[in-house]
A and B are shown apart, each in its own frame.
Chain A
Amino acid sequence: MALSVRNLRLEYPGKLLFEGLSLELPNQVMCGIEASVLGGTTSLLKGLAGLIEGITGIIEVNGRDIHSLTGQEQAELVSISYEEAGLISFLTIHQNIVLPLEYHLGKDDAANDARVKMFCEMFELETALLLCFPHDLNDVQIRIVNLIRALIVNPALCLIDELDSGMHEEMIDAAFRGLREFTKNNETTMIITTSQDALLVQMDCAYKIESRKLVEFVDARR
């Protein structure tokens, strides 16, 4: 299993978000989770990435406990694509994208550049933006850059928070074409939160949050 979650519990002071949550996902799966305002999906993704303290239960990625990983193992196994912000302000877009490659894999500049170019083509990001800083980009472009940075190390599990938010249909199509192309050639399993039912039904599996657990999403239009 790429991801195995058992009996997860997440509570903020005064608010219990999840209790007894379980989820099993094999490799190369695109899994959707229905997002709603203050529904807790962002916290769930951060919790699965091991970024929230006080979360209890078992989270295993490729059989490894998420909380026992070193920085490098964590980067190779799990990555997260944020809905907003998530980039380092004083680095250019190119430097932001190659940061995990430079830090963990120490690859040379030529190899990094080639990889960045490939991802820019895959997700239709203008290469001129690579020299810009995060404050020069709009929300949608920042989300695409976050996505590219999350995928660039070929993680076992990629957690993508509301990628489609604010995108028009053509951009959503391009982004999901890129994700399908990536999944075809890599072992990565993805969890994508979205508020669009039309996208959820296109995923390999889809869930929604109900009574602090994940339950299968059923398209109401069917």
Chain B
Amino acid sequence: MPEIYPHKERPPDTLIGALVGAGVRVLQFFNDVIGITWVTLKSARLLQNPGKRRLFQRLFKRQLYSTGVRAIYINVVVGALVGVLMISKLYDYLPGEALATQFGSWFLLIVIRELGPLVSGLILIARSGTAVTYEIGFLQSRGEFRVLRGLGVDPAYFFLLPVVIAFPASLLIMFIYFDIVVFLSSYVMIWFSDPSVDFVLLSLAVLEQIQSGELLINVLKALIGGLVIGVVSIHFALRVNKDHQSISDAISTSVTAQLAFFLLLNLLLSYLAYR
């Protein structure tokens, strides 16, 4: 049978080919991510050795400091702005007294359940996801994984495990900073309009709303979210080669993927928990 269309001009084949190609890439991505997670978590068995554990503690502290502790500045700024804006907007709709009495449930609904995890996750992606993609990509491009193998050192234990553990821990710490700062800035806004509002009573109003289920969902969002952000950063970093362009490609693709997965995860967990 004669060839009616030249190869490039057969839309159905091209479309099918493109879909199949995209499907294969998605499968490969998930396969790689699961593989990285497994290899990294498996290397945690080396923590049983006191010498190796000491080395890990140093690397973990370094990662936790740069990911969780140094994020305090931006978290405080964003948290304070959210507190001020949220309460000032709420004031437009609710009279002062009603706001004070309903503050606990509003705070739980808006800040603890949704904004805290979302904003903290976005800060983690912007500050640390990009940094880790660059750092591990740089190590990869310089052949430093091979150097570690030459020393008989497990690169997953040395380079990846600190990230995989520090990211969820950092995200959890960031949730806490954020919630506290939003609460404090909200209280200041309320106090300006109504100085009789009692700080302790307002705090209790929030604490009364927090059930163990809320805490569990927040911890899950931090653990799974942090793990996903960390592993996706690592995945794209490991694809870096000696071409310097590949590092910037890895960072931009990695951030896009982290945002997509993190938002999806937040949505899913919130839907499952609060539907």
Q: Hey, which bits of chain A sit against chain B, CB under 8 A?
A: 46, 49, 51, 70-76, 79-80, 82, 85-90, 99-100, 102-107, 149
Answer whether A75 and B151 are a contact pair too, CB < 8 Å, given A102-B55, A105-B51, A106-B49.
yes
> Please, which residues of chain A bring their CB within 8 A of the CB of B152?
70-76, 100, 103-104
- A51 near B144: Cβ-Cβ < 8 Å: no
Q: Which of A75, A82, A105 has a CB less than 8 Å from the CB of B147? A: A82
Least Cβ–Cβ distance between A153 and chain B, in angstroms:
9
Closest 5 CB pairs of A and B: A106-B51, A75-B152, A71-B152, A74-B152, A102-B55
- A103 near B147: Cβ-Cβ < 8 Å: no
Answer whether A88 and B154 are a contact pair too, CB < 8 Å, given A102-B51, A106-B49.
no
- A49 near B51: Cβ-Cβ < 8 Å: no
> Please, which residues of chain A bring their CB within 8 A of the CB of B55?
99, 102-103
Q: Hey, which bits of chain B sit against chain A, CB under 8 A?
A: 49-52, 54-55, 135, 138-139, 142-144, 146-154, 158
Least Cβ–Cβ distance between A119 and chain B, in angstroms:
16
In the complex formed, the residue of B with least CB distance to A87 is B147
> Please, which residues of chain B bring their CB within 8 A of the CB of A103?
51-52, 55, 151-153, 158
Q: Which of B49, B54, B153 has a CB less than 8 Å from the CB of A100? A: B153
Query: In whole angstroms, what is the CA distance A106 to B53 when docked?
Result: 9
Query: In whole angstroms, what is the CA distance A70 to B158 when docked?
Result: 17
In the complex formed, the residue of A with least CB distance to B135 is A90
Query: In whole angstroms, what is the CA distance A75 to B55 when docked?
Result: 17
**Most chain A beta-carbon neighbours within 10 Å: one of B144, B147, B148, B158:** B147
Query: In whole angstroms, what is the CA distance A88 to B144 when docked?
Result: 6
- B144 near A89: Cβ-Cβ < 8 Å: yes
Query: In whole angstroms, what is the CA distance A70 to B150 when docked?
Result: 12
> Please, which residues of chain B bring their CB within 8 A of the CB of A89?
138-139, 142, 144
> Please, which residues of chain B bring their CB within 8 A of the CB of A46?
150
Given A99-B55, A100-B153, A104-B152, 11 more A-B residue pairs with CB atoms under 8 Å apart are A46-B150, A71-B152, A71-B153, A72-B152, A75-B152, A75-B153, A79-B150, A85-B142, A85-B144, A88-B139, A106-B49
Query: In whole angstroms, what is the CA distance A160 to B77 when docked?
Result: 53
> Please, which residues of chain B bring their CB within 8 A of the CB of A107?
51
- B51 near A51: Cβ-Cβ < 8 Å: no
- B154 near A71: Cβ-Cβ < 8 Å: yes
- A85 near B143: Cβ-Cβ < 8 Å: yes
> Please, which residues of chain B bring their CB within 8 A of the CB of A102?
51, 54-55
> Please, which residues of chain B bring their CB within 8 A of the CB of A72?
152
